[in-house]
Structure 1
């Protein structure tokens, strides 16, 4: 494979037209992705959420369900994503007094021919958006931040970890 082919965007034809990648000839492997995000808020808003005092209800429970639903609908939201039969979606939402705010971590897993990075990223993003929506009456100045891929495993490219990329080391 030439260097030019390795760096070419896979969703673009030579003439620049977008297309969905054909994954038909690829083998199925277990693929996992973990993404994260955070919602920074006032300490008072964080305490109200943790006490269950938000007018709209249980912020964390609703955000968790929203993230799961979003992962399952990623192909409807992101052009050129393949619909996937996800085998696992998990959303963890943890308070972080140092932010202050809530940290979100989303895991998506599939046994298939294409990765689940977009599903994990979509889940984390929508969970963060839902936290904002559920608590905006308390704090319109909340900030959604740090949406990013933390790790992916499986497929031809193997394992990738953000911590390794930040340190210049390769994972395989």
Structure 2
């Protein structure tokens, strides 16, 4: 197993020095699910939610969050992202919204945290917009799906 990179020799939290690394194209995909009552999902899908377009708001929130990840997660590097995409899909048969985010750049460090933050904040935004209608909405399974680039290479979750 690899060692933690954010811990120095004294066991203290430490921002990793990436100055010696080579720039490579890096991309990461993450997902989150938001489970809710069928009636709540129907309000979103039909466009009848009193707060407006829930998916559009969640998409913008996720994109903004990816760009601010370095401000939210203490040891993350500020990154010049070249792409952030957030897709939302209603899965009415399961009363779910599936969120998938993609972040990309050419740089010295990965974009996994940015993709995870985008998916998480999009899910939180759905909760925020729908909490007046339903308070027991559940955010589930926030996870990294895939990452490419960098020294550790390609990672993809098993199907």
TM range (shorter): over 0.9
Displaced runs of 4 or more, over 3 A: none
* TM-score under structure 2 length normalisation: 0.97
Using the alignment, how far apart are the partners of 1:16 and 1:82 within structure 2? 20
Using the alignment, how far apart are the partners of 2:132 and 2:12 within structure 1? 44
Using the alignment, how far apart are the partners of 2:153 and 2:108 within structure 1? 13
* TM-score under structure 1 length normalisation: 0.90
In structure 2, what is the equivalent of residue 106 of structure 1? Answer: 101
- Deviation of 1:137 after TM superposition, in Å, equals 1.3
- Deviation of 1:14 after TM superposition, in Å, equals 1.5
Structure 2 unaligned blocks of 5 or more: none
In structure 1, what is the equivalent of residue 72 of structure 2? Answer: 77
Structure 1 unaligned blocks of 5 or more: 1-5, 165-172
Which residue of 37, 41, 49 maps to 1:42?
A: 37
In structure 2, what is the equivalent of residue 87 of structure 1? Answer: 82
- Deviation of 1:157 after TM superposition, in Å, equals 1.1
* Structure showing greater Rg: 1
Using the alignment, how far apart are the partners of 2:93 and 2:152 within structure 1? 36
Q: Secondary structure at the match of 1:120?
A: helix
Using the alignment, how far apart are the partners of 1:99 and 1:113 within structure 2? 40
Number of aligned residue pairs: give it: 159
Using the alignment, how far apart are the partners of 1:112 and 1:99 within structure 2? 39
Q: Are 1:54 and 1:138, in contact at CA under 8 Å, matched by a contact in 2?
A: no
Q: Are 1:109 and 1:116, in contact at CA under 8 Å, matched by a contact in 2?
A: yes
- Deviation of 1:101 after TM superposition, in Å, equals 1.8
Using the alignment, how far apart are the partners of 2:9 and 2:93 within structure 1? 48
- Deviation of 1:7 after TM superposition, in Å, equals 2.3
- Deviation of 1:55 after TM superposition, in Å, equals 1.7
C-alpha RMSD over aligned residues: 1.0
In structure 2, what is the equivalent of residue 30 of structure 1? Answer: 25
In structure 1, what is the equivalent of residue 134 of structure 2? Answer: 139
Q: Does 1:161 align with 2:143?
A: no
In structure 2, what is the equivalent of residue 3 of structure 1? Answer: none
